[in-house]
Amino acid sequence: MTTDGGAAWTVRAIDGPVPDRHSALLAAPVPATVPGEVHTDLLAAGVIPDPFDGDNEGKLFWIGRTSWSYRTVFDWEADEHAVQELVADGLDTAARITLNGTELGKTWNQHRSYRFAVTGLLVAERNELVIEFASPVATANQLREASGMWPHTNLHPYNAIRKMASNFGWDWGIDVATAGIWRPLRIESWSGVRIDSVRPLAGLDRDNGVLDTRLALAWADDATDDAAITVEVGGTTTEMTVAAGTAEAGVTSTIDAVDRWWPRGYGEQPLYDVQVSLQAGANEDAWQGRVGFRTITMDVAPDEHGGPFILSVNGKPVYVRGANWIPDDAFVTRLNRSTYEAGITDAIDANMNLLRVWGGGIYESDDFYDVCDELGVLVWQDFLFACAAYSEDEPLWSEVKAEAEQAVTRLSRHASLALWNGNNENIWGYVEWGWRVPLAGRSWGEGYYFDLLPGIVAELDPRTPYSAGSPFSYDRYIHPNDERNGTMHVWDVWNQVDYSTYRKYKPRFVSEFGFQGPPAWSTLTSVVHDEPLDPYGEQMLVHQKAHEGNLKLERGLGDHLPKWSSMDDWHWTTQLNQARAVAYGIEHFRSLFPLNTGAIVWQLNDNWPVVSWAAVDGNGIRKPLWFALRRVYADRLLTVQPCEDGLVVASHNDTDVAWSTELTVSRRSTRPGGEVFASEQFILEVPARSNALNEFPESITTPTDATSEYIEVRAADGTTAYWYFVEDTALQLTANPCTAEVTATPNGYTVTVTATALTKDLALFPDRLDPTARVDTCLITLNPGDTHTFHVTNTTTAPTTITITITKPVLRTANDLIT
């Protein structure tokens, strides 16, 4: 039996607070899909409305507080094999499994797989398999009561159970505590010996590739034949024989003149097929996968500035331009290779080279890591601990050990895997979040991060670096979030202070920072139906999970932008402010290179429609923030930065080729006509993988009227940067500074905008007219006389219908908010 072998599944409620209107679920089951989740099954059956819509989240809390039974009946035909096992790749989460009335076992860990012996329990005809899932919310509460209270964020004690933490809700995530058979389930029959796992660890010895293939073998009780193992990779075949009963084996292969795997921007991503074959008498087994040959190191050795954080691939330091990745759908069984490709493409198109798989989510499916291997995106992989203290007592310790061993074994082959990270913010939490009093001396997870997990990585994946946590200073006697050492999270910006505070820091590496903004208008209004629409509307607040989130959106405007006067302006203002805040931070960090070695913005993606820190919303629409990231994460960046002696042009060249171009720097008028008051030209020379700081001449930096002048930096290759002497709230901008013309194209339309005065942060929102429409550019600044063409695709709306609507709120500028 396999999940795609025709077995029909059903699910029904077995106890819990099922509403009267759904009481039939206690008696009659509904069809279920495996792999799947109870929420998606109930939704497909028409039993519940879309959990993402309106205020349905609260109306459906009962699902996570109810226990559920999955059942299937299947035929089984005996074959020549002596051993049968039920293999569950993923059960979510507290489950009791019975086959033909016999209990096979109980589980309570979503993050690992299980094997159950079923030899002798299967019958030739009708077999009944039942998997009962206890309420995840009740189970977490019961485990907390039994073991004691360990501090955690958010509502539920997610740290008491090995289940996706954000499934219980987060400050961007919906509370939909799921249950179900979330990964494939099958019966395997075998005899003699089988391959239990394969870890093909690919490395380099000068120009040659070295593949250390490590196998775990499982033997039947009556097995007597020795096993022949064959490993084929890159045209090289290596063989060995092991005696019956050997539990582990290692085969080393050398591949001459191997092509190295590189992250994007540093080289190509050649991948090599690996075929492992096993033969023991008449019994055979096989495994296949792909590897990339590379080395990766983490340098945190102290230097004159404190302690760096440098990831190097094949000996070459990589400047990290990354984003944090959360589960891409609140219902993770809806994810597949296609959805992963779309999300990772969002990262690549924004010039990113690393994704951090955050510790409150899941170990993603192999599809995610395969795509990263193919496209050259490095993966920073958290172990699944986030924002909480964790008991180190049994049975949690053994569950963590089993899950970590399985995760490292499964993922270690991937060329993209750059770092194993022990936890998210838990070391920081212990130091600074008031945990020590309620813990009263009890363990809090330290043993995992400094003992268990590094030991597992050293044994099973010694080629990949390990970090105890994020943030971390790589010294037990230094504050874990010290800017001078290791990795830093910057969250006073957004939570307490203005985003100009970014410039007060000189971080060695920033692994979390960000700023909120709403999703696309069409995404927001597809789930929020308040009349009238308002930031503090009932349904709007369901889709704003951050503590005082809307107040922080308002406070975050500071002197940068005025407070909105309409809902349309609220949407545009807060999206624009989000983009500017994050871009401000990244431009500053990159100007510090080589002191700063990278940034990982929070966050790339959303898992439902929500106001959040994401650059791409829950419907896959790229927010203005995404376009800002594409600019500030470009291989070559120009940015104007203040320093002790005045303004400088900071030029970061993150390529292997020297950057030589002519720069024109001008001080111009914001008024119609755009008069040039001063202009200078010079040749910019920036070596490969370097940064340069060039001072402005005084004629450029000394305005006659700061409220009506600005600086433009324009390179001959088209790269630009701007500096404004005052914030927009004090800047003289012209109302209606541009005109627009619409032209039909074979797959949509173009909008060509011509500026008659300084046009700041020009943006087109075609989803306001058609939710299927997508635009290629955003946040464009134009001088008088400049033009820019937006390309709109995937639209179902004819250009003739939209010609008269290319005005506010479809076409927006910062000018709209000031004038």
**Tens digits of per-residue pLDDT, 215-264?**
999 999 999 999 999 999 999 999 999 999 999 999 999 999 999 999 99
Say what the pLDDT of residue 795 is: 73
Q: If the chain, 819 residues long, is cut into consecutive pieces of 10 residues, what is the mean pLDDT of each piece?
A: 61 93 89 97 96 97 97 93 96 98 97 97 94 97 89 94 97 97 97 97 95 97 94 96 96 96 98 97 95 98 97 98 98 98 98 98 98 98 98 96 98 98 98 95 96 98 98 96 98 97 98 98 98 96 97 97 96 98 98 98 98 98 98 98 92 97 96 94 96 93 96 94 97 95 91 96 96 96 96 80 79 93
pLDDT digits (tens, 9 = 90+) for 93-119: 999 999 999 999 999 999 999 999 999
Strands (E), 220-268: 227-233, 236-242, 248-255
Asked whether the CA dihedral 499, 503, 507, 509 is positive or negative, the reply is positive
Cα distances (angstroms) measured from residue 626 to each of 20, 194, 629, 750, 814:
45, 47, 5, 20, 17
Contact by Cβ (8 Å): 806, 742: yes
Closest by CA position to 461, among listed 209, 111, 201: 201
CB count within 10 Å of CB 136 equals 30
Strands (E), 220-369: 227-233, 236-242, 248-255, 272-280, 283-291, 296-299, 310-313, 316-318, 320-325, 354-357
Contact by Cβ (8 Å): 143, 157: yes
Say what the pLDDT of residue 3 is: 38
| Fold (CATH) for 296-632 | TIM Barrel (3.20.20)
Take residue 280 and report the two structure tokens written for it: 């023991």
Cα distances (angstroms) measured from residue 353 to each of 66, 342, 548, 598, 654:
42, 15, 33, 10, 12
Residues of CATH 2.60.120.260 domain(s) within the chain? Answer: 9-188
Contact by Cβ (8 Å): 215, 276: yes
Take residue 648 and report the two structure tokens written for it: 């400088």
Verdict on whether the full-model pTM lies above 0.85? yes
Contact by Cβ (8 Å): 373, 176: no
Q: Where are the alpha helices (DSSP H) in 440-566?
A: 446-447, 453-460, 492-495, 521-527, 538-542, 549-555
Cα distances (angstroms) measured from residue 618 to each of 117, 608, 611, 613:
41, 4, 10, 12
Closest by CA position to 188, among listed 72, 100, 88, 85: 85
Residues of CATH 3.20.20.80 domain(s) within the chain? Answer: 296-632
CB count within 10 Å of CB 79 equals 10
Take residue 188 and report the two structure tokens written for it: 């395997």
**What whole-number distance in Å separates Cα of residue 64 and Cα of residue 47?**
15
Contact by Cβ (8 Å): 72, 129: yes
Mean pLDDT, the chain, rounded, equals 95
Specify the CATH superfamily of domain 191-291.
Immunoglobulins (2.60.40.10)
Closest by CA position to 638, among listed 565, 756, 720: 720
* AA letter at 136: P
> What is the residue whose two structure tokens read 């503590």?
547
pLDDT digits (tens, 9 = 90+) for 32-62: 999 999 999 999 999 999 999 999 999 999 9
Closest by CA position to 713, among listed 663, 757, 780, 670: 663
pLDDT digits (tens, 9 = 90+) for 461-477: 999 999 999 999 999 99
314 exposed, middle or buried (CB, 10 Å; 0-12, 13-18, 19+)? middle
Pairing type for strands 748-755 and 248-255 reads unpaired
Q: How far is CA 803 from the centre of its chain?
A: 38
**What whole-number distance in Å separates Cα of residue 40 and Cα of residue 32?**
9
Pairing type for strands 185-190 and 227-233 reads unpaired
For the chain, report the end-to-end CA distance as a whole number of angstroms: 67
Closest by CA position to 42, among listed 213, 241, 179, 204: 179
**What whole-number distance in Å separates Cα of residue 5 and Cα of residue 650?**
60
Cα distances (angstroms) measured from residue 167 to each of 63, 64, 162, 524:
13, 10, 11, 21
Say what the pLDDT of residue 651 is: 97
Contact by Cβ (8 Å): 519, 525: no
**Range 9-188: architecture per CATH:** Sandwich (2.60)
Residues of CATH 2.60.40.10 domain(s) within the chain? Answer: 191-291, 636-730
HSE (side-chain half, CA atoms, 13 Å) at 624: 29
Take residue 212 and report the two structure tokens written for it: 């250390």
**What whole-number distance in Å separates Cα of residue 579 and Cα of residue 760?**
13
Contact by Cβ (8 Å): 202, 293: yes
Instruction: Check residue 162 and report its DSSP letter.
Output: B
Cα distances (angstroms) measured from residue 664 to each of 103, 423, 669, 716, 760:
76, 47, 16, 8, 19
Instruction: Check residue 47 and report its DSSP letter.
Output: S
Say what the pLDDT of residue 232 is: 97
Say what the pLDDT of residue 434 is: 95
Q: What dotted CATH number matches 636-730?
A: 2.60.40.10
Say what the pLDDT of residue 4 is: 41
Contacts (Cβ under 8 Å, ≥6 apart) of 806: 740, 742, 751, 764
Contact by Cβ (8 Å): 779, 802: no
Estimate the crossing angle of helix 396-411 against helix 453-460, to 10 degrees. Answer: 30
Q: Count the helix, strand and coil residues of the chain and give each as a percent rounded to the nearest 5.
A: 25, 35, 40
Question: For the range 739-746, what are the long-range contacts, defined as Cβ-Cβ under 8 Å and sequence gap of 24 or more?
Answer: 740/806, 740/807, 740/811, 742/799, 742/802, 742/803, 742/806, 743/799, 744/798, 744/799, 744/800, 745/791
HSE (side-chain half, CA atoms, 13 Å) at 280: 25
Cα distances (angstroms) measured from residue 662 to each of 642, 656, 679, 810:
22, 19, 13, 36
